Amino acid sequence: MTLDSKKEPFHFNLLKKDAGSRARLGTLTTSHGQIKTPAFMPVGTQATVKSLLPETVRQLGADIILGNTYHLYLRPGHELIRKMGGLHEFMNWHHPILTDSGGFQIYSLGALRKLSEKGVVFRSHIDGSSHVMTPEYCIAIQHALGSDIMMCLDECLSYPASFDETEKSLELTVRWARRCKETKNSERNALFGIIQGGAWPRLRKRAVDDICDIGFDGYALGGLSVGEPKEIMYEMVEMTAPLCPEDKPRYLMGVGTPEDLLACTALGIDMFDCVMPTRNARNGMLFTNSGKIAIKNARYREDKAPLDEQCRCYTCRNYSRAYLRHLFIAREILAIVLNTIHNVSFYLTLMENIRKSIQEGVFEDFRRNFLKNIRKND
């Protein structure tokens, strides 16, 4: 896709709002192509969606994938990727890429990190070497990677966290966001601000006000799906999403199950990412329109049926449950490949059907029927 150089490379176009919910249909335009929203981004943490060729990911319906600043900084290094022509060229993916700032990964290091106003001092999980990540350096790394959408460096807290602890963390995240915005120096890269605030509605509202006051190309809800009960996550999304600017994309980070995607689309979210489809595939847990299947179960030993009669992915068109179980039990690499093809296809097809249902004005009917079917077995 070639864009007019005189136009803004990044643009969000809100096409339609659902009458029975807050679901939104839209498009995101970037310098590497267009993204149909609501969108799910397969996770390619280390410049690969695990076990899949980039061409396969595209054929399955992905408009955009996600990479990770923390991991790519440590290995192979952002300067090497810059020399290789940027992340798109390096991994042979010539479509949009969003790079997470790595804040969540640094948070996950626990005792191996130390926060200050300057940034984060942390030890690599690979070799124990010491590193410093500042908001400015985080943006510089993402500029080197050449991602279409960059994320601000933020502090993520686990659940539960006290009001005072969350407030202090939020204020640091806002100050870091301002420094990230000041560092951004290219119109070809969009920058999203991250709204924190834990499970405290008052702090979530303050975060929206403060982050939106800085002004970003899009807004992400962070600090969710970190151990809180599901109903609290939904409550935070429900009260936060409509406070964000209507003409900017809304991204819920690290979420989640098919049920989560439907619920949070209904609450006004436009973008999602999660490792669940790929990680579950490697563990033999497969999503279908009739509920989840643990493929190692003995009941599938002589099952000639495809994983999902409704699915048209390569795996379901060509292989039986019995064969997939055999591969998984035998620990064959092909098991991971075929399982991942199916799970990623399931997620991307779900998003395609969500978009179609919003366009046709039947989103709530689609959502109700989908949930009814997958809960039969679950």
CATH code for the domain in which residue 210 is found: 3.20.20.105
Q: Provide the pLDDT for residue 107.
A: 77
pTM for this one? 0.96
- Residue 2 located in a structural domain: no
Which residue numbers are catalytic?
100, 273
Whether 134 is covered by a domain: the verdict is: yes
Q: What token pair was written down for 79?
A: 């300067």
220 and 310 belong to one structural domain:
no
Domain membership of residue 324 as a residue range: 281-374
**Residue that finishes a domain, picked among 225, 248, 273:** 273
Whether 7 maps to a domain, the answer reads: no
Assess whether 168 and 269 both reside in one domain: yes
Residue 5 falls within a domain, yes or no? no
**Do residues 159 and 25 both lie within one domain?**
yes
Same domain (yes/no): 96, 126: yes
Which tokens is 166 given?
């969350």
Tokens of 357: 């249902």
Are residues 40 and 180 both part of a single domain?
Answer: yes
Asked whether residue 105 falls in the same domain as residue 208, the answer is yes
Asked if the structure places residue 219 within a domain, the reply is: yes
One domain, residues 129 and 269:
yes
Q: Among 273, 301, 324, which residue terminates a domain?
A: 273
Closest to 98 in 3D by CA, of 34, 152, 149, 138: 149
Distance CA 79, CA 21 (A): 45
Q: Are residues 125 and 170 in the same domain?
A: yes
Do 82 and 159 belong to one domain? Answer: yes
**How do residues 293-324 score in pLDDT, each as one tens digit?**
999 999 999 999 999 999 999 999 999 999 99
Separation between Cα atoms, residue 213 and residue 190, nearest integer Å: 17
253 lies in the same domain as 303:
no
Look at residue 377 in the predicted model and tell me its pLDDT: 66
Q: How many domains does the chain have?
A: 2
Q: Check whether residue 200 and residue 296 sit in a common domain.
A: no
Position 1 in a domain: no
Residue 4 lies in a domain: no
Residues 268 and 288 in one domain: no
Low-confidence ranges of the chain (pLDDT < 70): 1-8, 377-378
Residues 269 and 241 sit within 8 Å (Cβ to Cβ): yes
